[in-house]
Structure 1
Amino acid sequence: MRVEIFTHKNCTECNLLLEYLDQKGLLGKVQIIDTELYPFLALERGVISTPSVFIDGKLVYAGTVDFQEFEKILQGEKIVKKINKDELVDKLMYGIVDSFAATAWLYVNLDFDSFMAQKDFVMAVTGLVFSEDAEEQYNYLRNLMIKNGLEYVKKWEDKMLRNISSNFVREIYWLYGSKLSLEQIKAKYPLEVFAHWLMVRGGSTGRVGLRIHPLTEKDTMERISKAYMYMINNYDQLWEKVEKEQKSLKSIEVERKAIL
Protein backbone atom coordinates (compact mmCIF):
# COMPACT_ATOMS: atom_id res chain seq x y z
CA MET A 1 0.00 0.00 0.00
CA ARG A 2 1.47 3.34 -1.09
CA VAL A 3 0.35 6.22 1.11
CA GLU A 4 1.16 9.85 0.24
CA ILE A 5 0.27 12.90 2.33
CA PHE A 6 0.45 16.33 0.68
CA THR A 7 1.12 18.90 3.38
CA HIS A 8 2.08 22.56 3.91
CA LYS A 9 4.14 23.90 6.80
CA ASN A 10 1.51 26.56 7.63
CA CYS A 11 -1.33 24.02 7.74
CA THR A 12 -2.44 23.35 11.33
CA GLU A 13 -4.30 20.13 10.45
CA CYS A 14 -1.19 18.85 8.65
CA ASN A 15 0.99 19.36 11.71
CA LEU A 16 -1.55 17.70 14.00
CA LEU A 17 -1.81 14.71 11.65
CA LEU A 18 1.96 14.26 11.42
CA GLU A 19 2.30 14.56 15.19
CA TYR A 20 -0.42 11.92 15.67
CA LEU A 21 1.23 9.50 13.21
CA ASP A 22 4.58 10.06 14.88
CA GLN A 23 3.14 9.28 18.32
CA LYS A 24 1.55 6.09 16.94
CA GLY A 25 4.78 5.00 15.25
CA LEU A 26 3.15 5.17 11.83
CA LEU A 27 5.10 8.01 10.23
CA GLY A 28 7.37 5.54 8.46
CA LYS A 29 4.39 4.08 6.61
CA VAL A 30 3.67 7.30 4.69
CA GLN A 31 5.43 9.56 2.21
CA ILE A 32 5.23 13.27 3.07
CA ILE A 33 5.10 15.66 0.12
CA ASP A 34 5.53 19.37 0.88
CA THR A 35 3.27 21.35 -1.49
CA GLU A 36 5.47 24.42 -1.02
CA LEU A 37 8.46 22.50 -2.42
CA TYR A 38 6.52 20.50 -5.03
CA PRO A 39 3.63 22.76 -6.15
CA PHE A 40 3.34 21.39 -9.68
CA LEU A 41 3.13 17.82 -8.42
CA ALA A 42 0.29 18.90 -6.12
CA LEU A 43 -1.49 20.59 -9.04
CA GLU A 44 -1.01 17.54 -11.22
CA ARG A 45 -2.59 15.35 -8.54
CA GLY A 46 -5.53 17.72 -8.07
CA VAL A 47 -4.72 18.79 -4.50
CA ILE A 48 -7.21 21.48 -3.47
CA SER A 49 -6.60 21.48 0.29
CA THR A 50 -4.06 20.15 2.77
CA PRO A 51 -3.58 17.63 4.10
CA SER A 52 -4.56 15.52 1.11
CA VAL A 53 -4.07 11.80 1.59
CA PHE A 54 -3.69 9.44 -1.37
CA ILE A 55 -3.70 5.66 -1.05
CA ASP A 56 -2.36 3.84 -4.10
CA GLY A 57 -2.95 7.02 -6.09
CA LYS A 58 -6.56 7.52 -4.93
CA LEU A 59 -7.55 10.62 -2.95
CA VAL A 60 -9.23 9.47 0.30
CA TYR A 61 -8.98 12.55 2.54
CA ALA A 62 -8.89 16.25 1.63
CA GLY A 63 -8.47 18.94 4.28
CA THR A 64 -9.89 17.02 7.22
CA VAL A 65 -8.64 13.59 8.25
CA ASP A 66 -10.27 11.18 10.70
CA PHE A 67 -7.09 10.26 12.58
CA GLN A 68 -8.39 7.04 14.16
CA GLU A 69 -9.90 5.87 10.89
CA PHE A 70 -6.69 6.63 9.00
CA GLU A 71 -4.73 4.72 11.65
CA LYS A 72 -6.91 1.66 10.97
CA ILE A 73 -6.23 1.95 7.24
CA LEU A 74 -2.48 2.11 7.83
CA GLN A 75 -2.80 -1.03 9.95
CA GLY A 76 -4.43 -2.86 7.03
CA GLU A 77 -8.11 -2.56 7.95
CA LYS A 78 -10.63 -1.99 5.13
CA ILE A 79 -13.00 0.91 5.71
CA VAL A 80 -16.56 0.77 4.38
CA LYS A 81 -19.07 3.51 5.16
CA LYS A 82 -22.79 3.86 4.80
CA ILE A 83 -23.40 7.50 3.94
CA ASN A 84 -26.82 8.99 4.60
CA LYS A 85 -28.03 11.04 1.62
CA ASP A 86 -29.38 13.68 3.98
CA GLU A 87 -25.83 14.33 5.24
CA LEU A 88 -24.16 14.69 1.84
CA VAL A 89 -24.68 18.42 1.31
CA ASP A 90 -23.42 19.34 4.79
CA LYS A 91 -20.38 17.07 4.37
CA LEU A 92 -19.62 18.68 1.00
CA MET A 93 -20.08 22.24 2.24
CA TYR A 94 -17.92 21.56 5.28
CA GLY A 95 -15.21 20.26 2.95
CA ILE A 96 -15.54 23.37 0.81
CA VAL A 97 -15.31 25.88 3.68
CA ASP A 98 -12.34 23.92 5.03
CA SER A 99 -10.51 24.67 1.77
CA PHE A 100 -9.62 28.26 0.88
CA ALA A 101 -9.13 27.42 -2.80
CA ALA A 102 -12.53 25.74 -3.04
CA THR A 103 -14.26 28.49 -1.06
CA ALA A 104 -12.72 31.36 -3.03
CA TRP A 105 -13.40 29.82 -6.45
CA LEU A 106 -16.97 28.80 -5.70
CA TYR A 107 -17.86 32.04 -3.90
CA VAL A 108 -16.68 34.17 -6.82
CA ASN A 109 -17.85 32.03 -9.73
CA LEU A 110 -20.95 30.23 -8.40
CA ASP A 111 -20.42 27.58 -11.08
CA PHE A 112 -21.70 24.41 -9.41
CA ASP A 113 -21.53 22.25 -12.52
CA SER A 114 -17.79 22.87 -12.97
CA PHE A 115 -17.09 22.55 -9.27
CA MET A 116 -18.88 19.22 -8.92
CA ALA A 117 -16.77 17.92 -11.80
CA GLN A 118 -13.89 17.87 -9.26
CA LYS A 119 -15.09 14.38 -8.46
CA ASP A 120 -12.07 13.14 -6.48
CA PHE A 121 -12.32 16.08 -4.08
CA VAL A 122 -16.09 15.66 -3.70
CA MET A 123 -15.76 11.93 -3.02
CA ALA A 124 -13.02 12.50 -0.43
CA VAL A 125 -14.64 15.27 1.63
CA THR A 126 -18.03 13.54 1.73
CA GLY A 127 -16.59 10.13 2.64
CA LEU A 128 -18.14 8.62 -0.49
CA VAL A 129 -14.72 7.28 -1.39
CA PHE A 130 -15.42 4.59 1.26
CA SER A 131 -19.03 3.96 0.19
CA GLU A 132 -20.19 0.91 -1.77
CA ASP A 133 -22.82 2.94 -3.64
CA ALA A 134 -20.53 5.92 -4.26
CA GLU A 135 -21.47 6.52 -7.91
CA GLU A 136 -25.19 6.68 -7.23
CA GLN A 137 -24.68 8.99 -4.25
CA TYR A 138 -22.25 11.22 -6.15
CA ASN A 139 -24.67 11.65 -9.06
CA TYR A 140 -27.47 12.47 -6.63
CA LEU A 141 -25.30 15.09 -4.90
CA ARG A 142 -24.08 16.61 -8.15
CA ASN A 143 -27.62 17.08 -9.46
CA LEU A 144 -28.71 18.53 -6.12
CA MET A 145 -25.87 21.07 -6.07
CA ILE A 146 -26.42 22.13 -9.67
CA LYS A 147 -30.09 22.68 -8.90
CA ASN A 148 -29.90 24.22 -5.41
CA GLY A 149 -26.28 25.37 -5.08
CA LEU A 150 -27.15 29.04 -4.51
CA GLU A 151 -29.35 28.06 -1.58
CA TYR A 152 -26.53 26.13 0.09
CA VAL A 153 -23.97 28.89 -0.48
CA LYS A 154 -26.35 31.34 1.18
CA LYS A 155 -26.76 28.98 4.15
CA TRP A 156 -22.98 28.58 4.55
CA GLU A 157 -22.12 32.16 3.57
CA ASP A 158 -20.88 33.30 6.98
CA LYS A 159 -18.36 30.44 7.13
CA MET A 160 -17.25 31.17 3.56
CA LEU A 161 -16.75 34.86 4.39
CA ARG A 162 -14.75 33.96 7.47
CA ASN A 163 -12.55 31.60 5.45
CA ILE A 164 -11.86 34.23 2.79
CA SER A 165 -11.20 37.00 5.34
CA SER A 166 -8.97 34.82 7.53
CA ASN A 167 -6.82 33.86 4.55
CA PHE A 168 -6.48 37.47 3.43
CA VAL A 169 -5.35 38.54 6.90
CA ARG A 170 -3.01 35.52 7.09
CA GLU A 171 -1.28 36.64 3.89
CA ILE A 172 -0.97 40.17 5.26
CA TYR A 173 0.74 38.61 8.28
CA TRP A 174 3.17 36.71 6.05
CA LEU A 175 3.90 39.77 3.90
CA TYR A 176 4.47 42.36 6.60
CA GLY A 177 5.24 40.38 9.75
CA SER A 178 3.47 42.96 11.89
CA LYS A 179 -0.05 44.29 12.14
CA LEU A 180 -1.14 47.00 9.73
CA SER A 181 -3.70 49.49 10.96
CA LEU A 182 -7.18 49.33 9.47
CA GLU A 183 -6.45 52.65 7.73
CA GLN A 184 -3.35 51.12 6.10
CA ILE A 185 -5.36 48.09 4.98
CA LYS A 186 -8.00 50.30 3.35
CA ALA A 187 -5.33 52.43 1.65
CA LYS A 188 -3.16 49.56 0.37
CA TYR A 189 -6.01 47.15 -0.35
CA PRO A 190 -9.14 48.95 -1.49
CA LEU A 191 -12.09 46.88 -2.71
CA GLU A 192 -10.80 46.65 -6.30
CA VAL A 193 -7.44 45.22 -5.17
CA PHE A 194 -9.18 42.82 -2.79
CA ALA A 195 -11.44 41.69 -5.63
CA HIS A 196 -8.44 41.01 -7.88
CA TRP A 197 -6.71 39.11 -5.06
CA LEU A 198 -9.77 36.95 -4.44
CA MET A 199 -10.25 36.08 -8.11
CA VAL A 200 -6.58 35.23 -8.59
CA ARG A 201 -6.24 33.27 -5.33
CA GLY A 202 -9.29 31.22 -6.22
CA GLY A 203 -7.86 30.59 -9.69
CA SER A 204 -4.95 28.35 -8.79
CA THR A 205 -1.62 28.90 -10.55
CA GLY A 206 -1.11 31.11 -13.59
CA ARG A 207 -4.26 31.00 -15.69
CA VAL A 208 -5.22 27.44 -14.80
CA GLY A 209 -8.73 27.67 -13.42
CA LEU A 210 -8.59 31.48 -13.39
CA ARG A 211 -11.69 33.48 -14.26
CA ILE A 212 -11.38 37.24 -14.15
CA HIS A 213 -14.69 39.04 -13.72
CA PRO A 214 -14.94 42.71 -14.79
CA LEU A 215 -15.18 45.08 -11.83
CA THR A 216 -18.36 46.39 -13.45
CA GLU A 217 -20.07 43.00 -13.02
CA LYS A 218 -22.64 44.03 -10.44
CA ASP A 219 -23.66 40.69 -8.87
CA THR A 220 -20.07 39.44 -8.54
CA MET A 221 -18.84 42.70 -7.04
CA GLU A 222 -21.71 42.76 -4.56
CA ARG A 223 -20.61 39.35 -3.26
CA ILE A 224 -16.95 40.37 -3.13
CA SER A 225 -17.86 43.64 -1.42
CA LYS A 226 -19.65 41.62 1.26
CA ALA A 227 -16.47 39.57 1.82
CA TYR A 228 -14.39 42.75 1.93
CA MET A 229 -16.63 44.40 4.52
CA TYR A 230 -16.64 41.21 6.59
CA MET A 231 -12.84 41.34 6.63
CA ILE A 232 -12.81 45.05 7.54
CA ASN A 233 -15.41 44.68 10.30
CA ASN A 234 -13.66 41.66 11.85
CA TYR A 235 -10.05 42.67 11.16
CA ASP A 236 -8.82 42.92 14.77
CA GLN A 237 -10.37 39.59 15.79
CA LEU A 238 -9.06 37.86 12.66
CA TRP A 239 -5.55 39.25 13.18
CA GLU A 240 -5.45 38.04 16.77
CA LYS A 241 -6.51 34.53 15.67
CA VAL A 242 -4.00 34.40 12.80
CA GLU A 243 -1.13 35.70 14.94
CA LYS A 244 -1.80 33.09 17.63
CA GLU A 245 -2.05 30.33 15.02
CA GLN A 246 1.14 31.32 13.20
CA LYS A 247 3.18 31.62 16.41
CA SER A 248 1.97 28.16 17.43
CA LEU A 249 3.00 26.70 14.06
CA LYS A 250 6.41 28.37 14.33
CA SER A 251 6.88 26.86 17.78
CA ILE A 252 5.99 23.38 16.45
CA GLU A 253 8.45 23.81 13.59
CA VAL A 254 11.26 24.84 15.97
CA GLU A 255 10.55 21.86 18.26
CA ARG A 256 10.54 19.45 15.31
CA LYS A 257 13.88 20.77 14.03
CA ALA A 258 15.35 20.44 17.52
CA ILE A 259 14.29 16.77 17.68
CA LEU A 260 15.74 16.06 14.24
Structure 2
Amino acid sequence: MQVEIFTHKNCTECNLLVEYLEQRGLLGKVKLIDTEAYPFLALEKGVISTPSVFVDGKMVYAGKVDFAEFEELLKGNGVERKFNRDELVTRFMEGIVDSFAATAWLYVNRDFDSFMEQKDFVFAVTGLALSEGGDEGYQYLRNVLLKDRDKILQEWEPKMFRNISSNFVREIYWLYQRKLPRDEIFSRYPLEVFAHWLMIRGGVVGRVGLRIHPLSEVETMTRIARVYGYTMENYDSIWERVEKEQKSLEKMRTIQ
Protein backbone atom coordinates (compact mmCIF):
# COMPACT_ATOMS: atom_id res chain seq x y z
CA MET A 1 0.00 0.00 0.00
CA GLN A 2 1.40 3.36 -1.08
CA VAL A 3 0.35 6.29 1.09
CA GLU A 4 1.16 9.91 0.24
CA ILE A 5 0.35 12.89 2.46
CA PHE A 6 0.52 16.39 0.98
CA THR A 7 1.39 18.84 3.76
CA HIS A 8 2.37 22.45 4.39
CA LYS A 9 4.60 23.70 7.20
CA ASN A 10 2.06 26.31 8.32
CA CYS A 11 -0.85 23.85 8.42
CA THR A 12 -1.82 23.01 12.00
CA GLU A 13 -3.70 19.85 11.03
CA CYS A 14 -0.67 18.65 9.05
CA ASN A 15 1.65 19.06 12.00
CA LEU A 16 -0.78 17.31 14.34
CA LEU A 17 -1.15 14.41 11.90
CA VAL A 18 2.62 13.99 11.52
CA GLU A 19 3.03 14.12 15.29
CA TYR A 20 0.30 11.48 15.73
CA LEU A 21 1.86 9.14 13.16
CA GLU A 22 5.26 9.54 14.75
CA GLN A 23 3.92 8.74 18.20
CA ARG A 24 2.13 5.66 16.88
CA GLY A 25 5.21 4.43 15.03
CA LEU A 26 3.50 4.80 11.66
CA LEU A 27 5.47 7.62 10.07
CA GLY A 28 7.61 5.15 8.11
CA LYS A 29 4.49 3.88 6.34
CA VAL A 30 3.77 7.18 4.58
CA LYS A 31 5.50 9.54 2.17
CA LEU A 32 5.26 13.22 3.12
CA ILE A 33 5.16 15.71 0.24
CA ASP A 34 5.63 19.42 0.96
CA THR A 35 3.20 21.45 -1.16
CA GLU A 36 5.41 24.52 -0.74
CA ALA A 37 8.34 22.68 -2.34
CA TYR A 38 6.27 20.73 -4.90
CA PRO A 39 3.27 22.92 -5.79
CA PHE A 40 2.79 21.60 -9.32
CA LEU A 41 2.77 17.99 -8.16
CA ALA A 42 0.03 18.96 -5.70
CA LEU A 43 -1.94 20.63 -8.49
CA GLU A 44 -1.53 17.59 -10.71
CA LYS A 45 -3.02 15.44 -7.94
CA GLY A 46 -5.96 17.79 -7.38
CA VAL A 47 -4.87 18.94 -3.92
CA ILE A 48 -7.00 21.86 -2.73
CA SER A 49 -6.40 21.68 1.01
CA THR A 50 -3.82 20.18 3.35
CA PRO A 51 -3.33 17.59 4.56
CA SER A 52 -4.53 15.60 1.57
CA VAL A 53 -4.04 11.85 1.93
CA PHE A 54 -3.79 9.45 -1.01
CA VAL A 55 -3.91 5.68 -0.62
CA ASP A 56 -2.72 3.85 -3.74
CA GLY A 57 -3.37 6.99 -5.77
CA LYS A 58 -6.89 7.58 -4.42
CA MET A 59 -7.61 10.71 -2.36
CA VAL A 60 -9.31 9.57 0.84
CA TYR A 61 -8.94 12.65 3.07
CA ALA A 62 -8.72 16.35 2.30
CA GLY A 63 -8.21 18.98 4.99
CA LYS A 64 -9.47 16.96 7.94
CA VAL A 65 -8.29 13.47 8.80
CA ASP A 66 -9.89 10.99 11.18
CA PHE A 67 -6.64 9.95 12.88
CA ALA A 68 -7.94 6.70 14.39
CA GLU A 69 -9.60 5.66 11.13
CA PHE A 70 -6.46 6.49 9.16
CA GLU A 71 -4.41 4.39 11.57
CA GLU A 72 -6.65 1.42 10.80
CA LEU A 73 -6.08 1.99 7.08
CA LEU A 74 -2.31 2.06 7.59
CA LYS A 75 -2.52 -1.20 9.54
CA GLY A 76 -4.26 -2.81 6.58
CA ASN A 77 -7.67 -3.04 8.22
CA GLY A 78 -10.76 -2.43 6.14
CA VAL A 79 -12.59 0.83 6.72
CA GLU A 80 -16.03 1.56 5.35
CA ARG A 81 -18.38 4.43 6.13
CA LYS A 82 -22.11 4.67 5.63
CA PHE A 83 -23.00 8.05 4.22
CA ASN A 84 -25.95 9.98 5.55
CA ARG A 85 -27.68 12.13 2.93
CA ASP A 86 -28.58 14.70 5.56
CA GLU A 87 -24.90 15.21 6.40
CA LEU A 88 -23.49 15.50 2.89
CA VAL A 89 -23.96 19.26 2.45
CA THR A 90 -22.50 19.94 5.90
CA ARG A 91 -19.49 17.72 5.24
CA PHE A 92 -18.94 19.30 1.84
CA MET A 93 -19.14 22.86 3.18
CA GLU A 94 -16.88 22.00 6.12
CA GLY A 95 -14.37 20.83 3.52
CA ILE A 96 -14.76 24.11 1.62
CA VAL A 97 -14.32 26.39 4.65
CA ASP A 98 -11.35 24.30 5.79
CA SER A 99 -9.57 25.35 2.59
CA PHE A 100 -8.80 29.02 2.03
CA ALA A 101 -8.39 28.60 -1.73
CA ALA A 102 -11.77 26.88 -1.96
CA THR A 103 -13.46 29.41 0.30
CA ALA A 104 -12.06 32.44 -1.54
CA TRP A 105 -13.00 31.06 -4.93
CA LEU A 106 -16.52 30.06 -3.90
CA TYR A 107 -17.20 33.31 -2.03
CA VAL A 108 -16.23 35.44 -5.02
CA ASN A 109 -17.66 33.27 -7.81
CA ARG A 110 -20.62 31.51 -6.12
CA ASP A 111 -20.11 28.52 -8.40
CA PHE A 112 -20.66 25.05 -6.92
CA ASP A 113 -20.60 23.26 -10.25
CA SER A 114 -16.87 23.83 -10.75
CA PHE A 115 -16.14 22.18 -7.40
CA MET A 116 -18.41 19.25 -8.17
CA GLU A 117 -16.25 18.54 -11.22
CA GLN A 118 -13.36 18.01 -8.77
CA LYS A 119 -14.84 14.66 -7.78
CA ASP A 120 -11.80 13.34 -5.90
CA PHE A 121 -11.93 16.35 -3.56
CA VAL A 122 -15.71 16.06 -3.10
CA PHE A 123 -15.48 12.35 -2.31
CA ALA A 124 -12.61 12.95 0.15
CA VAL A 125 -14.18 15.78 2.17
CA THR A 126 -17.62 14.17 2.38
CA GLY A 127 -16.40 10.69 3.31
CA LEU A 128 -17.84 9.22 0.11
CA ALA A 129 -14.33 8.00 -0.79
CA LEU A 130 -14.68 5.35 1.93
CA SER A 131 -18.40 4.67 1.46
CA GLU A 132 -20.46 2.29 -0.62
CA GLY A 133 -22.82 4.05 -2.98
CA GLY A 134 -20.48 7.00 -3.40
CA ASP A 135 -21.77 7.89 -6.86
CA GLU A 136 -25.35 7.97 -5.61
CA GLY A 137 -24.37 10.29 -2.76
CA TYR A 138 -22.38 12.48 -5.12
CA GLN A 139 -25.31 12.95 -7.49
CA TYR A 140 -27.67 13.72 -4.62
CA LEU A 141 -25.24 16.32 -3.26
CA ARG A 142 -24.84 17.92 -6.66
CA ASN A 143 -28.59 18.30 -7.06
CA VAL A 144 -29.01 19.86 -3.62
CA LEU A 145 -26.16 22.33 -4.15
CA LEU A 146 -27.57 23.50 -7.46
CA LYS A 147 -31.12 23.76 -6.14
CA ASP A 148 -30.32 25.47 -2.81
CA ARG A 149 -27.19 27.40 -3.77
CA ASP A 150 -28.18 30.81 -2.40
CA LYS A 151 -29.58 29.40 0.84
CA ILE A 152 -26.43 27.33 1.51
CA LEU A 153 -24.07 30.21 0.73
CA GLN A 154 -25.99 32.53 3.03
CA GLU A 155 -25.99 29.96 5.85
CA TRP A 156 -22.22 29.40 5.58
CA GLU A 157 -21.26 33.03 5.02
CA PRO A 158 -20.16 33.68 8.65
CA LYS A 159 -17.68 30.79 8.51
CA MET A 160 -16.44 31.95 5.13
CA PHE A 161 -15.91 35.42 6.62
CA ARG A 162 -13.81 33.94 9.41
CA ASN A 163 -11.74 31.88 6.98
CA ILE A 164 -11.06 34.78 4.61
CA SER A 165 -10.30 37.34 7.32
CA SER A 166 -8.02 34.95 9.24
CA ASN A 167 -6.04 34.13 6.12
CA PHE A 168 -5.67 37.79 5.18
CA VAL A 169 -4.30 38.61 8.61
CA ARG A 170 -2.15 35.46 8.58
CA GLU A 171 -0.47 36.62 5.38
CA ILE A 172 0.10 40.07 6.89
CA TYR A 173 1.81 38.26 9.77
CA TRP A 174 4.05 36.33 7.37
CA LEU A 175 4.88 39.38 5.27
CA TYR A 176 5.70 41.90 7.97
CA GLN A 177 6.45 39.75 11.03
CA ARG A 178 4.86 42.46 13.15
CA LYS A 179 1.43 43.86 13.78
CA LEU A 180 0.60 46.80 11.55
CA PRO A 181 -1.74 49.45 13.01
CA ARG A 182 -5.26 49.22 11.64
CA ASP A 183 -5.00 52.63 9.94
CA GLU A 184 -1.89 51.44 8.12
CA ILE A 185 -3.71 48.29 6.98
CA PHE A 186 -6.52 50.45 5.57
CA SER A 187 -3.93 52.60 3.79
CA ARG A 188 -1.89 49.76 2.29
CA TYR A 189 -4.85 47.52 1.52
CA PRO A 190 -7.88 49.57 0.44
CA LEU A 191 -10.98 47.72 -0.72
CA GLU A 192 -9.81 47.51 -4.36
CA VAL A 193 -6.51 45.87 -3.38
CA PHE A 194 -8.28 43.50 -0.99
CA ALA A 195 -10.72 42.56 -3.76
CA HIS A 196 -7.86 41.77 -6.16
CA TRP A 197 -6.11 39.73 -3.46
CA LEU A 198 -9.26 37.72 -2.78
CA MET A 199 -9.86 37.01 -6.47
CA ILE A 200 -6.34 35.75 -7.14
CA ARG A 201 -6.06 33.72 -3.91
CA GLY A 202 -8.94 31.47 -4.91
CA GLY A 203 -7.07 28.43 -6.21
CA VAL A 204 -5.24 30.35 -8.90
CA VAL A 205 -1.89 29.42 -10.44
CA GLY A 206 -0.98 31.63 -13.36
CA ARG A 207 -4.25 31.97 -15.26
CA VAL A 208 -5.50 28.54 -14.26
CA GLY A 209 -8.60 29.10 -12.16
CA LEU A 210 -8.38 32.88 -12.50
CA ARG A 211 -11.62 34.85 -12.71
CA ILE A 212 -11.13 38.58 -12.50
CA HIS A 213 -14.30 40.54 -11.80
CA PRO A 214 -14.27 44.23 -12.82
CA LEU A 215 -14.24 46.59 -9.85
CA SER A 216 -17.33 48.15 -11.41
CA GLU A 217 -19.29 44.91 -10.90
CA VAL A 218 -21.62 46.08 -8.13
CA GLU A 219 -22.91 42.74 -6.85
CA THR A 220 -19.45 41.19 -6.49
CA MET A 221 -17.86 44.29 -4.97
CA THR A 222 -20.73 44.67 -2.49
CA ARG A 223 -20.15 41.11 -1.37
CA ILE A 224 -16.39 41.62 -1.07
CA ALA A 225 -16.94 44.88 0.81
CA ARG A 226 -18.85 42.96 3.50
CA VAL A 227 -15.99 40.59 4.21
CA TYR A 228 -13.51 43.48 3.99
CA GLY A 229 -15.48 45.40 6.61
CA TYR A 230 -15.63 42.31 8.82
CA THR A 231 -11.87 41.86 8.52
CA MET A 232 -11.02 45.42 9.41
CA GLU A 233 -13.56 45.57 12.22
CA ASN A 234 -12.17 42.42 13.84
CA TYR A 235 -8.52 42.96 12.91
CA ASP A 236 -7.19 43.16 16.48
CA SER A 237 -8.84 39.98 17.74
CA ILE A 238 -7.95 38.09 14.55
CA TRP A 239 -4.33 39.17 14.87
CA GLU A 240 -4.15 37.88 18.45
CA ARG A 241 -5.54 34.50 17.37
CA VAL A 242 -3.22 34.25 14.35
CA GLU A 243 -0.15 35.25 16.35
CA LYS A 244 -0.92 32.61 18.99
CA GLU A 245 -1.48 29.99 16.28
CA GLN A 246 1.76 30.79 14.45
CA LYS A 247 3.88 30.77 17.61
CA SER A 248 2.34 27.41 18.52
CA LEU A 249 3.25 26.06 15.06
CA GLU A 250 6.81 27.34 15.37
CA LYS A 251 7.13 25.60 18.73
CA MET A 252 5.65 22.39 17.31
CA ARG A 253 8.11 22.37 14.40
CA THR A 254 11.02 22.93 16.79
CA ILE A 255 9.98 19.95 18.88
CA GLN A 256 9.63 17.74 15.80
Per the alignment, residue 17 of structure 1 pairs with 17
Amino acid of the structure 1 residue aligned with 2:65:
V
* 1:15-43 Cα deviation digits (max 9, x unpaired): 00000000000000000000011011001
The residue identity in structure 2 corresponding to 1:125 is: V
2:250 corresponding residue in structure 1: 250
Q: Deviations over 1:179-228 (max 9, x none)?
A: 00000000000000000000000042111101000011111111111110
CA contact (8 A) 2:102 2:203 kept: no
Equivalent position of 1:45 in the other structure: 45
Tell me the amino acid that sits aligned with residue 159 of structure 1: K
Q: Deviations over 1:1-20 (max 9, x none)?
A: 00000000000000000000
- State the secondary structure of the residue aligned to 1:156: helix
* 2:159 match: secondary structure: helix
SS at structure 1 position matched to 2:33 = strand
Could you tell me which residue of structure 1 aligns to residue 193 of structure 2? 193
Correspondence for 1:88: 88
- In the alignment, which residue of structure 2 is the partner of 1:148? 148
Amino acid at match of 1:192: E
Flag as ranges the 4+ runs of structure 1 deviating above 4 A: none
The CA distance in 2 between the partners of 1:87 and 1:233, in whole Å, is 33
C-alpha separation in 2, matches of 1:240 and 1:228: 18
TM-score calculated relative to the size of structure 2? 0.99
Count of aligned positions: 256
Partners of 1:50 and 1:169 lie apart in 2 by 19
Contact kept in structure 2, 1:203 and 1:211, CA below 8 Å = no
SS in 2 for 1:33: strand
Instruction: State how far apart, in whole Å, the 2-side matches of 1:62 and 1:216 are.
Output: 36
User: Which consecutive unaligned segments of at least 5 residues does structure 1 have?
Assistant: none
Structure 1 segment 99-248 matched on structure 2, within 5 A: 99-248=99-248
8 Å CA contact 2:85–2:137 kept in 1: the answer is yes
Superimposed CA distance per residue, residues 225-255 of structure 1 (whole angstroms, 9 cap, x where no aligned partner): 1110110111001000100011111111122
Amino acid at match of 2:175: L
SS at match of 2:254: helix
Percent identity of paired positions between Structure 1 and Structure 2 = 68
Equivalent position SS for 2:148: helix
Contact 2:60–2:129 at 8 Å: present in 1 too?
Answer: yes
Of 244-253 and 11-20, deviating more is 244-253
Give 1:48-67 correspondences, 5 Å limit: 48-67=48-67
State whether residues 60 and 124 of structure 1, in contact with CA within 8 Å, keep that contact through their aligned partners in structure 2.
yes
